[in-house]
């Protein structure tokens, strides 16, 4: 309309805007080009690869990729893409004074181990044996099979120790595989102390419990498996990402491998080659 007025009556832009009661700044406004294209692309790629992770983890991954965008700008784009997850409410718990979980000061000071279970698409159930080093939260192994006996547990621990060394302590629950004579004999032979948590107190083994949750959300609940080979394949991919790419808040937003490398003087028994 302003262009038509100016052309028909040969008036200035100022007068045409005044006639139509329109501010010149509004008439001259030109929207800025979208500068968030790269943020959108990277966020969608990361969210597609790791749909179980929220804004905090994805933002730290962007930082690790060398991007220095302001967190408020990234969060605006994140919400605009409808990637934000629903916040889970906290359960009300009775007043209590739990003892803090001791944090290891060196590698191999304490390992935590636990079992998990799930099922294939056609029904057969399988189990996983998970082992974590409490010092740097590194996942040492996830053994997957239909049946995991005490003897199998010993073989898995021996396989880890062949490259990493034996732990001073092994924190376990009271499952039948862990209280078996085979594991007790192995621990006595190699000077490993078996520390059993109290029945019904899973948070006394909190490091492995937190790891189990991450593994279940990222792998067991994320995929439908037809065979054990598929479970093992996805587990190996996730383990590599967990140990080498995923930043941990408790480690100062470093990965387990980075944290271990930054404490090389304290872990001289490890084979760095």
Pair (25, 76) in one structural domain: no
Q: Which pair of tokens denotes residue 11?
A: 């008036």
| Same domain (yes/no): 131, 164 | yes
Which range of residues forms the domain containing residue 61? 37-80
Residue 137 shares a structural domain with residue 41: no
What pLDDT does 269 receive? 46
Has residue 87 been placed in a domain?
no
Closest to 108 (Cα-Cα) out of 273, 271, 270: 270
User: Does 155 share its domain with 76?
Assistant: no
Helix (H, G, I), strand (E, B) or coil at 264: helix
Per-residue model confidence (pLDDT) at position 266: 47
**Predicted confidence band of residue 96 (pLDDT cuts 50, 70, 90):** low
What are the angstrom distances between the C-alpha of 240 and each of 58, 142, 167, 252, 256? 17, 12, 22, 19, 11
Q: pLDDT tens across 155-212, in order?
A: 999 999 999 999 999 999 999 999 999 999 999 999 999 999 998 888 889 999 999 9
Residue 100, in any domain of the structure = no
Number of domains in the chain: 3
- What is the CA 103 to chain-centroid distance, rounded? 19
Whether residue 222 sits in one domain with residue 181: yes
- Are 126 and 251 within one domain? yes
Query: 268 pLDDT band (50/70/90 cuts)?
Result: very low
Helices (H), the chain: 2-9, 13-19, 24-28, 37-49, 55-64, 71-80, 150-164, 181-190, 206-215, 228-244, 256-261
Q: Are residues 76 and 8 in the same domain?
A: no
User: Binning pLDDT at 50, 70 and 90, where does residue 10 land?
Assistant: confident
Question: Is there a single domain that holds both residue 70 and residue 132?
Answer: no
Domain shared by 62 and 22, yes or no: no
């Amino acid at each position: 309309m302003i262009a038509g007025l100016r052309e028909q009556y040969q008036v200035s832009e100022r007068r045409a805007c005044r006639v139509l009661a329109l501010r010149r700044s509004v008439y001259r406004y030109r929207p800025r080009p979208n500068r968030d294209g790269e943020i959108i692309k990277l966020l969608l790629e990361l969210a597609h690869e790791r749909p179980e992770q929220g804004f905090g983890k994805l933002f730290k991954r962007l930082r690790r990729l060398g991007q220095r965008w302001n967190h408020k700008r990234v969060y605006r784009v994140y919400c605009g893409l409808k990637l934000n997850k629903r916040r889970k409410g906290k359960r009300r718990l009775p007043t209590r004074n739990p003892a803090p979980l001791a944090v290891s000061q060196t590698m191999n000071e304490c390992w935590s181990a636990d079992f998990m279970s799930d099922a294939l698409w056609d029904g057969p159930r399988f189990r996983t044996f998970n082992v974590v080093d409490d010092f740097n939260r590194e996942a040492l192994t996830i053994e997957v099979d239909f049946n995991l006996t005490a003897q199998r547990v010993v073989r898995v621990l021996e396989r880890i120790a062949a490259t990493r060394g034996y732990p001073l302590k092994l924190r376990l629950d009271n499952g039948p595989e862990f209280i078996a004579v085979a594991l007790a004999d192995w621990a006595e032979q190699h000077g490993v102390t078996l520390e059993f948590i109290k029945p019904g107190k899973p948070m006394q083994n909190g490091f492995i419990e937190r790891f189990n949750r991450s593994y279940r959300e990222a792998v067991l609940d994320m995929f439908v498996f037809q065979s054990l080979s598929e479970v093992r394949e996805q587990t190996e991919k996730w383990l590599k990402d967990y140990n080498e790419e995923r930043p941990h808040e408790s480690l100062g937003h470093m990965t387990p491998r980075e944290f271990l490398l930054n404490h090389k003087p304290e872990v001289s028994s490890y084979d760095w080659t």
